[in-house]
Amino acid sequence: MANSKEVVVSDSQLSPDFIQELLPSAERTALLYNLSFLCLGGFPQLERMIRDQALETQMLFGSSEAVLLKCAGTSSNLVTSLFPILIKAVEKNKPVLAVIYLEKARTWIEDIISAVGDMVTRYEKRAQSVKTCTSDVYQEQNQTEGKIKEHTVEMKALEDALDKLKVELKQNESEMEAIENKIKKNTEEQQDLIENNKYHQSFLWGLFSFDGHYDNDAIIAKQAEQTPLIAKKDSVRNKKWEINIKQTDFQLKLANCKIKQGEIPSPVHLKQAQKNLDQIRQILVDLNKFWEKVSALLGTLKDKTFAGDKLIEYLEDMKEEFLESIEEAKKCWNRFGAGCERAQGIFSVQSKTAYKFLEINPSSLSEAERNKQYESIMEKLKKINPQASAKAAIPT
């Protein structure tokens, strides 16, 4: 009898309250995925990654529902079917039959323990996968910020170059104006000399002139001054043409940069997505602890169920003690089964309806639509707390 009392399971351990944190965690997971999804408009690759992560989590919740349903079903079968038969076998002093039914119970229990163990492993892997996804988002954030910085630097360099060309062009125009003024003055002076030369070559001027070549030499000198001015003007004009070509080239490059700048999505929301994913990862770690707790409870229930199996050898003398141990086990399995049913209901809702947001393409949303959805999700997150969630989702 002492052995049958060694494993003690408290009411609080097997009470449906052990799933109190389950619903808010599951609800938050879907909402945080939704927030992350909204933050990734303009990042197609990250959108696909988050979609894949959310779908995998949704399927994991579906598997969780199935395992909890199996736990609840096994609990019910033990309580309503196998234990009553086992009790009758003991009451009729049939130890061989009692052993057969105990072994059947052991098989059922081992089966759900294995299924729960698999869930522990799957949640560990899912948390690790979300952690990797978080790192990918962080890397994309750095790369995007680098691209924007690179484009900003390039655009600044192009703008500076255009400003410099603008100054050069102004100087070119001033130089051209000065040369044209010199050419104009030189031309006017030549014209005056030519006019004067015609007068000098008249009959009266010839009678008194001692040097008939004077004015011709002056004209030639003025013409000589004109030649480098014209050459300089051509050079300045060519320089202006080069400046204009450079301006056009830089303006096109700047326009292209601005187009590309518009194509690079803002990384401002990626930090939020990263935080959301990190919270999801922590929730998955917590949910994994839930499954570890279920596994531990199953181990306790298994010990509780077989606490009196040695008494079968002394069935005639220890019948009452064995029956007491089975009755106690029935109570524990009843409480555990009730908790599993409620937990199964939570995962059922999450796996079926909570991920409908994946049907929407976040890139197609306007900024106003995105903000509206964001505010709606935040309101839902603010309303989630363990007590309220548990009461809302768990029928009495």
Instruction: Locate 233 and state its tokens.
Output: 């003007």
366: alpha, beta or left, given left = phi > 0 and alpha = psi -120 to 50? beta
Q: State the Cα–Cα distance between residues 396 and 383, nearest whole angstrom.
A: 21
Of 328, 308, 289, nearest to 116 (Cα)? 289
- The beta-carbon contacts of 215-222 under 8 Å, at least 24 apart in sequence, are 218/193, 219/190, 219/193, 219/194, 222/186, 222/189, 222/190, 222/193
Domain ranges of the chain: 3-146+267-393, 152-263
Q: State the Cα–Cα distance between residues 57 and 293, nearest whole angstrom.
A: 20
CB 73 within 8 A of CB 297: no
Q: State the Cα–Cα distance between residues 229 and 235, nearest whole angstrom.
A: 10
Of 254, 270, 44, 256, nearest to 143 (Cα)? 270
CB 229 within 8 A of CB 187: no
Q: State the Cα–Cα distance between residues 310 and 162, nearest whole angstrom.
A: 94
Cα-Cα end-to-end distance for the chain: 36
Output the tens digit of pLDDT for each of the chain's 396 residues.
333 333 334 444 444 455 667 778 888 888 988 988 888 767 888 888 888 988 999 999 899 899 999 999 999 999 999 999 988 988 888 878 888 888 888 899 999 999 999 999 999 999 888 888 888 888 888 887 887 788 788 888 888 889 999 999 999 999 889 988 988 888 888 887 777 765 555 444 444 444 444 457 777 887 788 888 888 888 888 888 888 888 888 887 877 776 566 555 665 666 776 777 787 888 888 778 878 888 888 888 788 777 666 666 666 667 788 888 889 889 989 988 988 888 888 888 887 788 888 888 888 888 888 889 888 988 988 888 655 444 444 333
Residue with tokens 């199964």: 344
Angle at 219 between CA 217 and CA 223, to 5 degrees: 115
CB 277 within 8 A of CB 308: no
Question: Under 8 Å CB-to-CB from 140, ≥6 apart: which residues?
Answer: 43, 45, 46, 267, 270
Query: The pTM is what?
Result: 0.66
Q: State the Cα–Cα distance between residues 19 and 130, nearest whole angstrom.
A: 23
Q: State the Cα–Cα distance between residues 283 and 381, nearest whole angstrom.
A: 14
